[in-house]
Amino acid sequence: MDPWGPVARLPRQKIQELQDRKLRHFINRYLYPFSPYYHRLFDQSKINPKDIRAVADLRRVPFTSKIDFIASPPDGERFREFILQPDKEKIRAAWPPGKLAALALTAALRGQSAVEDKLMAEFKPSFMTFTTGTTNQPVPFLYSNYDMRNLSVSGGRMLDLFKIKSSENIVNTFPYAPHLAFWQVVFGALSANALALSTGGGKVMGTEGNIAVIQKMKPSVVLGVPSYVYHILREAADKKCDFHFVQKVVLGAARVTPAFKAKVVELLAAMGAKDVAVFGTYGFTEARSAWAECPAGPQGSSGYHLYPDKEIFEIVDPKTGETKKEGEDGELVYTAIDARSSVVIRYRTGDFVKGGISYGPCPHCGSTVPRISSDITRLSDIKDLQLSKIKGALVNLNHFDVIFSEIGAVDEWQVEIRKKNDDKFDVDEVVIYLCGRPGADQQDAENQLRKKLLLATELAPNAVHWVPRAELIKRLELETANKEKRIVDKRPKE
Ligand SMILES: [Zn+2]
């Protein structure tokens, strides 16, 4: 049984005590003895694991970041060093007498093989997902059976936050891939006993196929990547489909703005669905977990509800690494306290959270778990795309998303950055492709866009092209790629 109910209502003081205790236990019995990477890091940094007694002591541990998985030894297998690797001797040295006595008792009553089976289920990797960097090589994160239970737990908790009952049907359109989002939904639905059909997304069943199964199954819940769910709904609306049965839309693997939520609600209303709730979620491969919003009314956001018995989140200054206070902006840092197999602590997510973390009770559902603001932008995306400079100006890509979703007349968009005449020594050019919503005033939309772009990014596009929707969908690879090509950098790499 998942003790989510009691955890979600614990007073703040009790949550702190629980986290201190779990952190201490995790570092001393699992992480330091069994993780080759952290054993070395603690020794090199002269940290005695026994001195990490409370959440506040975590600050003494150096950060881990993406680069630590990539800056690899010659064999390129750095990820293995993050996997907990216990053996008999390490277990004997690290575990308390009571825990060892329990193992001895199991051996006496059911044989040594029963002990081995038990340890295997706890530690041996049996599942994996990969990170999805656009330029970096993918890094595998492994799960043991113990971690798979946690994956079910987080999925179940998300469904609980969305108030999805076991009688409801779900259509999951996340792309079928070894990525967290797809599997989080599969295991979450299983643990909540809800009937889910995972279509695999456009690449597997095609958009026609997705629409057909939605019509047939009449799910109250549709899940997927924002751009693809929107695409399905729009195609269905064009066909005058009746989607009155949809009550909840759950979006993941990308940022969801209030304006985007409003567009989804509007589209569904046109197909007969009333009072639809749109939820955002947040997750990342390294945590092997995802978090969710609770119902907060149209376009509102409760922030993502965390699992204080599974992890610790800190917000730090991205430049100095200093820990920020409640409600302050900063980079999200993650520490596992109930994990096996691939484990990271003080992991810098590269995600910047505006509004940081709050510890007060949720104004919408009353839960007392910490929450992170849903205004999250990926610092790492900027680095990944090397968009340090366009036309000599530093541009934050996250602005594009907000600007375009604010202009109601724009349905889909793509930004292309290229060199004039395809000559690498020539100046940068920014070309924008748009398709409008039916009846949109294109000239007015273009004027708004130019104004907003200039204000937010100091960029003036060289050209704005309005193209038919089918063409833009092809450009974006909405139906064929796992992640749409929203911003395309065609400049030759240095
Ligand atoms: Zn809530």
**What would the DSSP string read from start to end of 214-232?**
HHHH--SEEEE-HHHHHHH
- Ordered alpha helix ranges (H), 353-397: 379-384
* Highest-scoring range by mean pLDDT, 258-267, 340-349, 390-399: 340-349
Tokens of 451: 């104004």
Give the distance (Å) from ligand 1 centre to CA of residue 10: 14
Q: Determine the pLDDT at residue 385.
A: 44
Terminal Cα distance for the chain, rounded: 54
pLDDT interval class at 300 (50, 70, 90) = confident
| pLDDT exceeds cutoff 60 at 395 | yes
Give the distance (Å) from ligand 1 centre to CA of residue 308: 14
Strand partners, 333: 314, 348
Q: Any idea which architecture 385-489 has in CATH?
A: 2-Layer Sandwich (3.30)
Residue 178: which residues within 8 A CB-CB, separation 6 or more? 128, 129, 130
Neighbours of 172 (CB within 10 A): 24
Tokens of 489: 């950098």
Q: Determine the pLDDT at residue 322.
A: 95
Q: Determine the pLDDT at residue 481.
A: 77
Residue with tokens 């706890």: 122
Average pLDDT, integer, range 442-465: 87
Q: Determine the pLDDT at residue 302.
A: 94
Chain region(s) in the chain for CATH 3.40.50.12780: 143-382
| pLDDT exceeds cutoff 70 at 393 | no
Give the distance (Å) from ligand 1 centre to CA of residue 155: 16
Q: How far apart are CA 322 and CA 339, in angstroms?
A: 26
Give the distance (Å) from ligand 1 centre to CA of residue 361: 8
> What value does the mean pLDDT of the chain take?
90
Residue with tokens 């997705």: 210
B/e letters for 271-306, b = 16+ CB within 10 Å, e = fewer, are bebeebbbbbbbbbbbbbbbbbbbebeeebbbbbbb
Residue 288: which residues within 8 A CB-CB, separation 6 or more? 129, 141, 143, 147, 150, 151, 180, 339, 342
| pLDDT exceeds cutoff 80 at 4 | yes
B/e letters for 102-125, b = 16+ CB within 10 Å, e = fewer, are ebeebeeeeeeeebeeebeebbbb
- Given the candidates 3.40.718.10, 3.10.20.30, 3.30.2130.10, 3.40.50.12780, the CATH classification of the domain at 143-382 is 3.40.50.12780
Tokens of 194: 């809800």
Range name among 142-146, 373-377, 399-403, 413-417 with the lowest pLDDT average: 399-403
Strands in 144-298 per DSSP E: 169-172, 195-198, 221-224, 248-251, 277-284, 289-292
Under a CB-based contact definition with an 8 Å cutoff, are residues 428 and 447 in contact? no
Give the distance (Å) from ligand 1 centre to CA of residue 293: 7
Q: Determine the pLDDT at residue 452.
A: 87
Give the distance (Å) from ligand 1 centre to CA of residue 278: 14
Give the pLDDT confidence of 57-81 residue by residue, as tens digits. 999 999 998 888 876 555 567 889 9
| pLDDT exceeds cutoff 70 at 360 | yes
Chain region(s) in the chain for CATH 3.30.300.30: 385-489
Give the distance (Å) from ligand 1 centre to CA of residue 369: 9
B/e letters for 31-62, b = 16+ CB within 10 Å, e = fewer, are bbbbbebbbebbeeeebebeebeebeebeebe
Give the distance (Å) from ligand 1 centre to CA of residue 64: 30
Give the pLDDT confidence of 150-187 residue by residue, as tens digits. 999 999 999 999 999 999 999 999 999 899 999 999 99
Give the distance (Å) from ligand 1 centre to CA of residue 95: 37
Q: Determine the pLDDT at residue 387.
A: 46
Burial (CB count within 10 angstroms: exposed 0-12, middle 13-18, buried 19+), residue 487: middle
Give the distance (Å) from ligand 1 centre to CA of residue 157: 12
